[in-house]
Amino acid sequence: MKIEQQVCDIKLAQKLKELKVKQDSVWYWENIQRKDFILSPKEKLMAIVDDDPENGGWTYLEQGLSEGNVFSAFTVAELGELLPESVIIDNQVYILEEVKYKENKRVIQLVSYVFLGEKIGKRQIQDSKLIFGKSVEDKIEANSRAKLAIYLIEKGLIKITKVKS
């Protein structure tokens, strides 16, 4: 499987950065000379571009992040850490559910939060009601997870300050 199928796409990466998700990943989308974005591993971007000790030195990664031409290309695993296992809304628990299915010879990754019982404490899964009717799907699992994270952040359902890598 190509790495492009294991990380979120550039538009979602840009949106996550805009929402102030910490830019710390194994992979990064990098814009070379204002042309198309390419994927680069973190270690490639750690080269020192300014080693002036008075300024603390800068790496290419730090410079690119500050100039807006480098974005974290979060992996499926990193996005999994970003999404909570459950969300509580109006004293009701919704749990993270991921489903993979085929549609017209195309594999789809569906990610949603489903209702878990009537009130907190009841651990029986009842009818599968989606959180506010929201589910996301994409042929790339990382994109599905990124879209759901963006939705939750924008709705104020979760606060994101850090993604481990």
Which of 26, 58, 75 is the endpoint of a domain?
75
Same domain, 52 and 106: no
Alpha-carbon span 67 to 63, nearest angstrom: 6
Please report how many Cα atoms fall inside a 13 Å half-sphere around the Cα of residue 123, on the Cβ side. 0
Same domain, 32 and 66: yes
**Any domain includes 160:** no
Question: What was the pLDDT predicted at 118?
Answer: 44
**Any domain includes 108:** yes
Domain count, the chain: 2
Question: What was the pLDDT predicted at 123?
Answer: 35
Query: For residue 152, which of 129, 135, 128 has the smallest C-alpha distance?
Result: 135
**Any domain includes 115:** yes
Same domain, 67 and 96: no
Which of 52, 75, 98 is the endpoint of a domain?
75
Same domain, 66 and 116: no
Question: What was the pLDDT predicted at 125?
Answer: 36
Which of 16, 50, 75 is the endpoint of a domain?
75
pLDDT (tens place) for every residue of the chain, 165 residues total: 899 899 999 999 999 999 999 999 999 999 876 677 888 988 888 776 666 666 666 777 888 888 788 999 999 999 999 999 888 777 778 888 888 888 888 888 888 887 765 443 333 333 344 455 567 888 899 999 999 999 889 988 887 765 444
Residue 63 structural domain: 3-75
Same domain, 68 and 84: no
Alpha-carbon span 20 to 14, nearest angstrom: 10
Residue 136 bridge partners (DSSP): 111
- Cβ contact 74:7 at 8 Å: yes
Count how many residues are written for the chain.
Answer: 165
Same domain, 66 and 131: no
**Any domain includes 161:** no
**Any domain includes 33:** yes
Same domain, 54 and 12: yes
**Any domain includes 123:** yes
Burial 42-67, CB ≥16 within 10 A → b, else e: eeebeeeeeeeeeeeeeebbbebbee
Same domain, 22 and 67: yes
Same domain, 67 and 89: no
